[in-house]
Amino acid sequence: MAEHRRFGRSLEVLRAEAAEELSMIVEHRSRQGDDPWEFMHLLPTVDEQVVLILREEALELDAAIGQRSAQWASHPASGQGTRLGEEYHRLRRIALQHPELTATVWKLMGALPEQS
């Protein structure tokens, strides 16, 4: 489980955290002998990493509070009945909380694996 993070951080703080995480990944892989030229293009952008951090936190929060209320599940914006379902709702909530990340959220929605 990821370390506990304080909710309500500014986008600047989230981007700094994401940049630090990406920097640590690059350093770790470089120390393992990987060539940065071969893996840098595979790493997410800072904004993508922010969305992934927020998504992970949302997953932890959803697990902690259990199932969402039935009224949310029937709301048209919930993603109910869509290909992404709960994931749609989770990522949409991130985009609503941080409008600057909306384009990144939609980009990642297209990159998410199908749920079985």
In tens, the pLDDT along 54-109 reads 999 988 887 777 655 545 555 555 555 555 677 888 888 899 999 999 999 988 88
Q: Percentage of the chain with pLDDT > 70? A: 72
Q: In whole angstroms, what is the distance from residue 16 CA to residue 86 CA? A: 28
Neighbours of 48 (CB within 10 A): 18
- Residue 44: partners with Cβ closer than 8 Å, 6 or more residues away: 22, 52
Report pTM. 0.69
Chain segment 9-30, per-residue pLDDT in tens: 899 999 999 999 999 999 999 9
What is d(CA 112, CA 57) in angstroms, rounded to the nearest whole number?
17
